[in-house]
Amino acid sequence: MKSKVVLWSAVTDVLCIVLFVAIGRKNHDEGEAAAGIFRVAAPFLIAAVAGWLATQAWKKPLELQTGVIIWLTTIILGMVLRHFVFSDGTATAFIIVATVFLCAFLNGWRALARKRLNR
């Protein structure tokens, strides 16, 4: 059971990040090609992996603290990687939208899962 929760948690985090990027690219008419989505998502996916490692998320993937640290790592490290490694923009509006969206999604699904499992 626990290995399924860990797998689904990782997949859901990846889907949240990819969804964020896909919506953003669609809203900015940048296309929906998988390569473009992956290029934009890459710094955030790398950062999310770092968040998983930092929290050892596989031990308690649904915990609030785990989600918050993964979210913060994804935003902070993701923006740093995006700017310095991937040479992409980090406009203030983008940072705000990314922060709010990823907070809601990376922590929201965890809250819903905890609620469902506690029933």
Tens digits of per-residue pLDDT, 31-88?
778 888 999 999 999 999 999 999 999 999 999 999 999 999 999 999 999 999 999 9
For 65-82, the DSSP string reads HHHHHHHHHHHHHHHHHH
97-112, pLDDT tens digit by residue?
Answer: 999 999 999 999 999 9
What pLDDT, on the 0 to 100 scale, is given for residue 119? 82
CA angle centred on 79, ends 8 and 24, rounded to 5°? 70
Distance CA 43, CA 38 (A): 9
Query: Stretch 16-27: mean pLDDT, rounded?
Result: 94
What pLDDT, on the 0 to 100 scale, is given for residue 27? 86
Task: For 87, list phi and psi in degrees, rounded to 5.
Answer: 55, 40
Q: Is the pLDDT of residue 1 over 70?
A: no
78, 18 contact by CB (below 8 A): no
What pLDDT, on the 0 to 100 scale, is given for residue 32? 72
Q: Which pTM value belongs to this model?
A: 0.94
Neighbours of 82 (CB within 10 A): 22
Higher local confidence (pLDDT), 12 or 117: 12
Distance CA 22, CA 24 (A): 5
